[in-house]
Amino acid sequence: MAYKEQYPSALLTEAVEAISSLPGVGRRSALRLALHLLKQPAENVHHFTSAINDLRDGVCYCQRCRMISDDEICAICADKTRDQRTICVVESVRDVMSIEATGQYHGVYHVLGGIISPIAGVGPSDLTIGQLTERVNALENPQTAEVILALSGDVEGETTAFYIYRQIEASGIKVSSLARGLGFGDDLEYADSLTLGRSITNRQIFKP
């Protein structure tokens, strides 16, 4: 409070408060950004704030996979060359972008919009699990289709994966999850013992 009162102007105080509400931005960085914005031409600042308002007000989500999209069906779901019978289930939009950046995946996605977390008060009904179940049930011959559970390896991720598995197992669809083990280039010496243990248990045939 004492620090707050040192700002020389109420408008500056308001702006610093607003900017420091962003994750990972402290009051010092917020002040630096506010003073930077003050030095810019007014039209640049308005362009900046409009881009953010436009995103928040105009954003659409794909009707099928809940990915951010400019259309009702996103570019990935609309792409006929992609395998529409392999559905990769992820927590967030960012995960889709990470997997797309690998260039290794040619199926489609389903964005849950979060993860089951009793502590954060997030239950299955807050996520798009119902829509995933419908998608799976609408597939012809689900036995030849696949759901990949690409969730984090922590307790919440495992809980969510297990919950989804129970919802869709009756359909007979193949359910897989991401391979876990040492990262490429990882040093054995610095690997945590859980990861190293799993890497040994799930060892693979050496293919030189």
Does 55 engage in binding with its own copies (CB under 8 A)? yes
Non-local (6+) Cβ contacts of 12 within 8 A are 31, 34
- Is 6 a binding residue for its own copies by CB under 8 A? The answer is yes
Paired strand residues for 88: 109, 148
- Expressed in percent and rounded to 5, the helix, strand and coil fractions of the chain are 50, 15, 40
Closest CB to its own copies among residues 101, 138: 101
> What is d(CA 159, CA 161) in angstroms, rounded to the nearest whole number?
5
Q: Kindly write out the interface string for residues 72-91 of this chain, putting x where it contacts its own copies by CB under 8 A and - elsewhere.
A: --xxx---------------
- Give the footprint of its own copies on residues 92-131 (CB under 8 A): 92-94, 96-97, 100-101
Cβ distance to its own copies smaller for residue 54 or 154: 54
Q: Where are the alpha helices (DSSP H) in 118-202?
A: 129-138, 155-168, 193-201
Between 116 and 145, CB nearer to its own copies: 116
d(CA 181, CA 132): 28
CB 69 to its own copies: min, Å? 6
Binding site for its own copies (CB under 8 A): 6-12, 14-15, 17-19, 21-24, 29, 31-38, 40, 42, 44-60, 67-70, 74-76, 92-94, 96-97, 100-101
